[in-house]
Amino acid sequence: MKKRYLILFLIWSLASCKQDFLNQLDPNAVTVDKYFETENDVLLAVNGIYQALRSGSNIGEGSTLYSEERSDNTGRDDNQSNAGEPFQFNDFSILPSNSYLRTHWANMYDGIARCNTLLSRIDQVTFDDQSTKLRYMAEAKFVRALLYFHLVRKFGDVPLSTKEITSKEEAAAVAFREKESVVYQQIVTDLKDGLSSNLPDKQSEYAVGRASKAAINALLGHVYLTMGATLQDVNNTELFTLAESHLTASYQMRAFGKLSEIPYSQVFDVSAKSTCEELVFQVQYLQGDQNYSSSIARNNQARGETVNSKYPSTGSGGNVKQDLVNDYEEGDIRKSFSIKFASDPQVNDWFITKFRDNSDEAGSQGWGGNDWILIRYADVMLLLAEVKMHLGKEAEAVALLDQVRERAGLPTYAESRENAAYNGKYPTLKDAILHERRVELAFENHRWFDLIRNYDAQELVSYFKQKNQADYGNAKLSNITVKDRYYPIPFDEYKLDPARMYQNLGY
């Protein structure tokens, strides 16, 4: 039987292996052993770490399949294309053999391997200023923490490595599923290390699309909140208090007063992506460039429409579930900006308009300049509201919630509670915050994580099964079971060592 090594180490770890491991070297390639010699070499390697995030198979703009399409916001009605594999995500019928899931796993571990190689090799380089070295290390640890945060929430226990792998023996040593709590502790350690660096508070003080202390604090607060809400046998109050501290630290680094000072449309305005003060961390794309541009505007546009892009779409655009459409309140300006009903006979459905670039620079090919926003302040504020709710600080939570609602043109939470329809749909503050996050952050890949943070496995099943099938699309709500809290471990990884790479229950 042909042997293979754990897929997480494929990118730089194999490139760095000794000759007796690979038995040959590419004479036209630069090996890792020969690469890290100057400060600029390290800078280019850091750039390569950020570049890994751009892929739709990673956590870039095309990664909605792995999060948003898992939720009740979007999906796809075609259950035949590509052997139905993409359809499996929203249909709760995903198989361990799903090739998209395997690619997603591999791509995230690819990014982690890049971080590990840089961190393992950076001491080979002499820096004129040690603070530069610390900054590069902090950036690598931030990205590594971000990727592990995605992995641990999606798969549960996952393999954990923090150093470059240069042999099959080293790969075998870490080819086992580490417990969630241990993975979370590594994430926390990486982010704390980043806070001790000389990174600036805001990305605009360094470079747009690079880590900052505002981003690290926001991510660390999100991590602590998730730990407190989902892990067993932990001090929830202590974790929520830590989450409050870091989310508050991030929020206090903003350069605006109230959220209403920043129009909702400006957040997604391509011309403002380098100056909008709501943006905390984003993955960059280059307008007008065939290879590095964004395609999110053109891909979401429906046939016969031009609101997103000058590209003449022939499809149905980004799928929007009627369940989400029904969740927008009357008068919510986010609805008219984020979605539109396409009246073309071949579409006749809602599609996503939140991401737009119909500029001449993007052209008829739709080579857009949209950045993919991973962290912004409305997200931070609503996470902070959620934390304060857990800590019993409801008045403070409502104040943050009301800021988001004010910008959307909606009444305050107190006023809305007097509305029987609103009160019936969102009877608790938890329900109200979840609703607000849903409509505020729709299509930004937060919804699935919000659901699994607020509902345990059985509650998640109950939540989905009380929905109207007609509002959900072709995917079957009846399929969901408690197993769907996590994805299956890709079969190719499981078969490496069924004991140490054990499969998630139910698959």
| SS3 assignment, position 266 | helix
Residue with tokens 């900054």: 135
Ramachandran assignment for 86, one of left (phi > 0), alpha (psi -120 to 50 degrees), beta (any other):
alpha
Q: Structure pTM?
A: 0.93
DSSP 101-143: HHHHHHHHHHHHHHHHHHHHHGGGS--SSHHHHHHHHHHHHHH
* Intrachain domains 1-199+455-507 and 211-284+379-433 with the same fold: yes
Q: How many CB atoms lie within 10 A of CB 406?
A: 14
- Whole-number mean pLDDT of the chain? 93
Q: Which fold has domain 211-284+379-433?
A: 1.25.40
| SS3 assignment, position 342 | strand
User: If we measure between CA atoms, which residue out of 12, 180, 195 comes closest to residue 112?
Assistant: 12
Query: Domain locations in the chain?
Result: 1-199+455-507, 211-284+379-433, 287-370
User: If we measure between CA atoms, which residue out of 244, 458, 456, 264 comes closest to residue 376?
Assistant: 264
pLDDT score of 12 more than 90? no
Give rounded-to-5 percent helix, strand, coil for the chain: 50, 5, 45
| CB-CB contact of 20 with 171 (8 Å) | no
Predicted pLDDT at 82: 58
pLDDT score of 1 more than 50? no
Beta pairing partners, 373: 282
| CB-CB contact of 155 with 487 (8 Å) | yes
Predicted pLDDT at 30: 58
Q: Which fold has domain 1-199+455-507?
A: 1.25.40
Residue pLDDT, tens place only, 327-347: 999 999 999 999 999 989 999
Which tokens in the block code for residue 315? 């499809």
- Pairwise CA distance, residues 345 & 465, whole Å: 31
Residue with tokens 């099964």: 465
Predicted pLDDT at 81: 63
